[in-house]
Amino acid sequence: MILVTGGAGFIGSNFVLDWIAGGHGPVVNLDKLTYAGNLENLAALQNDSRHIFVRGDIGDSELVGKLLKEHKPRAIVHFAAESHVDRSIHGPADFIETNINGTFKLLEEARAYWGGLPDVERAAFRFLHVSTDEVYGSLGSDDAPFTETTAYAPNSPYSASKAASDHLVRAYHHTYGMPVLTTNCSNNYGAFQFPEKLIPLMILNALNGKPLPVYGDGLNIRDWLHVGDHCTAIREVLKGGRLGETYNIGGWNEKTNLDVIHTVCAILDEQQPAANGQPYTSLITYVKDRPGHDRRYAINARKIERELGWKPQETFETGIRKTVRWYLDNAGWINNVTSGAYREWVDKQYG
C-alpha cells in the first residue's frame, strides 16, 4: 500500500493509473478535489479494490493521521499542490496554504507515523516529494541547464511556495532522519491535463476557433516531458533513490512556446482541419506578458540516468502526437472540465 496525495490531478492520476496497471500494489489516494482535481481521470479504477479514494485536505492532520494508521502505507508520494503559475499571480494565498502549510502538516503526520513503525518497516518507508524545476528560477540563453546543485531562485508565488516545501522536506531528513526523496521535474504534458496550461489550452482554443494567446514574444523556453515518463521516473526514484537526495527529471526537449504552438497547430491541421480551411496558426494572438515571466528552463537529467538508469522514452514528436489525439478522442472529458468555474477563470485571465 502507498499513500498518494493529489492523485486526482493531472500527474497524480496518471501516476495512480500507471501504478495500478503495472501491478505495483494498492493505493490510498487523498485529494481535496479542488478545481484541478477530477475523479473522471480515475474512472478506469471505479470498481477496482486496489484504489481507495478519500476526499480530503493534506492539511487535515487528523484525517491524514487516521489514514496512515489505518492503511499503513510503505510510502507517501506527495503530488498535491496548487500548480498554476498564473493563478498564483492572481491569488497566492491558496499556494501558501497548500504547498507550504499543507506540506508541513503532512510531513508532521508522516514523521509521527514513521517514528512509530517497527524497525524493518521504518527502514523501508519513503516520503517522495514531487517538485518542479521552477524552484531554480530563470536561465539565460547560454546558461547551462539546471543541475541538482543549482541555487534556488524562485520567481513566482507558485515556485516560491514549492521551494519552501522542498526546504521543509530537506530539513526533515537532515534534522529527524526522515527517509525523504525529492524530484524536480520540467513541464509535463499528456492526457488529463487541465486546460489552463499551455498545451491543452492551445488544443481546445484551436478546436473552438478561439485566439491562441501567446504571452510576450512567445520565445520563452520550457523543457517538455511526457507525463508517462515522469511517472516512470518517480517509480525509479522511489525504488532506488538515495535518501535525502534530489533528482532532476527532464525531457531534453527545450522548445520555445511558439515552437510548441506551431507543432500543435500542424498536428491539428492534419488530424482535424478547421472548417474554414484556414491553418490553426492563423489564430495565434500576442497578449500581455505574464508578470515576472521566467525566460528559460532546462534540465540536466544526468544524475537520475547515471544512478537509476532512467531516460525518457517519448520524444516530443511522439508524445505531442499522442496528446493531441487524446484530446481529440475525449470530447466528453473536455466538456465536463470546461464548465462554469473554468469559464470564470478564462474571463479573468484573458478578458
* Contact footprint for ligand NAD (CB under 6 A): 5-6, 8-12, 30-34, 36-37, 57-59, 79-83, 98, 102, 130, 132, 162, 185, 187-188, 194
- Closest CB to ligand NAD among residues 59, 279: 59
For the chain, the residue count is 351
Q: Which helix (H) or strand (E) holds 28?
A: strand 27-31
From 113, 136, 158, 327, the catalytic residue: 158
Q: Which of 63, 181, 65 is nearest to 112 (CA)?
A: 65
CA distance linking residue 287 with residue 303, whole number of Å: 38
Which amino acid type is present at position 301? A
Is 193 among the residues that bind ligand DAU (CB under 6 A)?
A: no
Any catalytic annotation for residue 143?
no
Decide which of ligand NAD, ligand DAU, none touches 11; Cβ closer than 5 to 8 Å per partner kind.
ligand NAD
- The region of 56-64, 129-137, 303-311, 326-334 touching ligand DAU under the rule CB under 6 A is 129-137
- The region of 78-86, 142-150, 270-278, 313-321 touching ligand DAU under the rule CB under 6 A is 78-86
Output the smallest distance, CB 241 to ligand DAU, in A: 20
- Closest CB to ligand NAD among residues 12, 179: 12
Torsion, Cα 259 317 36 81, to 10 degrees, reads: -90
CA distance linking residue 212 with residue 282, whole number of Å: 9
Any catalytic annotation for residue 158?
yes
CA distance linking residue 64 with residue 57, whole number of Å: 8
Q: Which of 192, 203, 185, 224 is nearest to 315 (CA)?
A: 224
Decide which of ligand DAU, ligand NAD, none touches 297; Cβ closer than 5 to 8 Å per partner kind.
ligand DAU
Cβ 256 vs Cβ 331: under 8 Å:
no
CA distance linking residue 248 with residue 181, whole number of Å: 11
CA distance linking residue 110 with residue 60, whole number of Å: 13
Is 213 among the residues that bind ligand DAU (CB under 6 A)?
A: yes
Output the smallest distance, CB 106 to ligand DAU, in A: 18
Any catalytic annotation for residue 217?
no
User: N- to C-terminal Cα distance for the chain?
Assistant: 45
Determine the size of the site formed for ligand DAU (CB under 6 A): 19
From 57, 82, 109, 133, the catalytic residue: 133
Output the smallest distance, CB 214 to ligand NAD, in A: 19
The alpha carbon of 79 is separated from its chain's Cα centroid by a whole number of angstroms, namely 7
Q: Please give the residue ranges that form the binding site for ligand DAU (CB under 6 A).
A: 83-85, 132-134, 186-187, 197-198, 201, 213-215, 220, 222, 257, 290, 297
Write out the catalytic residue numbers: 133-134, 158
